[in-house]
């Protein structure tokens, strides 16, 4: 009896510690492995943001809230790759292929639901303006227009459903600069048709990104690389 008691006193704490360690690493691995690799992103405009706010009861802060709020919209086609719930925070991380430090930012995620049939043809995540600028995908053009040469390419975009937060060419078009690391095209979210030209109902889509979206968690520990 004493021997059995001794064995329990020794083995039980060991089992508890091993179970706790196993549970931690299982949870940590599950957190780290649940990610979505984003290779294309589309532009968040006022019309879709209005519908998203109505669908998810989002409280906004001014007319330009959609531009300066770190928001990612996800289409239903990506449900099998991510289980982040609408309104939850997530980590958006741009993978730097040149072995420099990756850029990371905390974002809000909302799903484009099946009820929003007008946007059902969207197949890629939608980024707000502040995210596109933060990751260096695009930049505004004002007095430093000449600097758009080199690593930047000028693009023209129809102003429909956009705020005038970039250079205004005329009453119909805005202009900004896009990093030459990426290609781009114009996409009509209602018809699902791509076009090389900036049509009134088409919005720019950036291609060739390496951005990871993963759940936000207290287990997400930042570690600087050497």
Q: Smallest Cα–Cα separation from 157: which of 133, 181, 140?
A: 140
Residue (of 107, 101, 104) closest to 128 by Cα position: 107
Q: At 110, phi and psi to the nearest 5?
A: -135, 140
DSSP for residue 99: S
CB atoms inside a 10 Å sphere around CB 148: 17
Q: Whole-angstrom Cα distance, residue 78 to residue 52?
A: 17
Neighbours of 61 (CB within 10 A): 8
Instruction: Give the residues across from 139 on adjacent strands.
Output: 177
Q: Domains of the chain: which residue ranges?
A: 1-33, 35-215
Q: How far, in Å, are 101, 106, 111 from residue 160 at the CA level? A: 36, 28, 23
Q: Over the stretch 66-109, which tens digit does the pLDDT of each residue have?
A: 999 999 999 999 998 888 999 999 999 998 765 567 889 999 99
pLDDT value at position 130?
A: 96
Residue-level length of the chain: 226
- Kindly tell me if the per-residue pLDDT of 12 is higher than 70: no
Cα–Cα distance, 172 to 163 (Å, whole number): 12
Residue 33 has pLDDT above 90, yes or no: no
Give residue 156's pLDDT.
Answer: 93
Q: Are strands 126-127 and 35-43 parallel, antiparallel or unpaired?
A: parallel
Helices (H), 34-188: 46-56, 65-68, 129-134
Tens of pLDDT along 117-176?
A: 899 999 999 999 999 999 999 998 865 565 555 688 999 999 999 998 998 988 999 999
DSSP annotation of 102 = P
């Amino acid at each position: 009896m004493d021997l059995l008691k001794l064995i329990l006193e020794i083995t039980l704490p060991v089992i508890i510690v091993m179970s706790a360690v196993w549970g931690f690493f299982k949870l940590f691995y599950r957190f780290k492995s649940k990610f979505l690799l984003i290779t294309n992103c589309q532009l968040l405009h006022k019309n879709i943001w209005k519908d998203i706010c109505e669908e998810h009861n989002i409280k906004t802060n001014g007319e330009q809230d959609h531009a300066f709020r770190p928001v990612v919209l996800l289409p239903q086609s990506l449900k099998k790759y991510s289980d982040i719930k609408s309104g939850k925070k997530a980590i958006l991380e741009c993978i730097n292929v040149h072995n420099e430090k990756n850029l990371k930012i905390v974002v809000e995620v909302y799903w484009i639901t099946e009820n929003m049939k007008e946007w059902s043809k969207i197949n890629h995540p939608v980024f707000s303006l502040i995210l596109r600028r933060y990751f260096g995908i695009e930049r505004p053009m004002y007095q430093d227009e000449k600097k758009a040469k080199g690593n930047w390419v000028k693009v023209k975009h129809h102003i429909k459903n956009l705020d005038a937060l970039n250079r205004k060419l005329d009453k119909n078009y805005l202009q900004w600069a896009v990093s030459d690391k990426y290609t781009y095209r114009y996409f009509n979210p209602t018809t699902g048709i791509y076009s090389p030209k900036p049509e009134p109902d088409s919005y720019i889509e950036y291609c060739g990104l390496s951005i990871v979206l993963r759940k936000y968690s207290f287990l997400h520990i930042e570690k600087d690389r050497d």
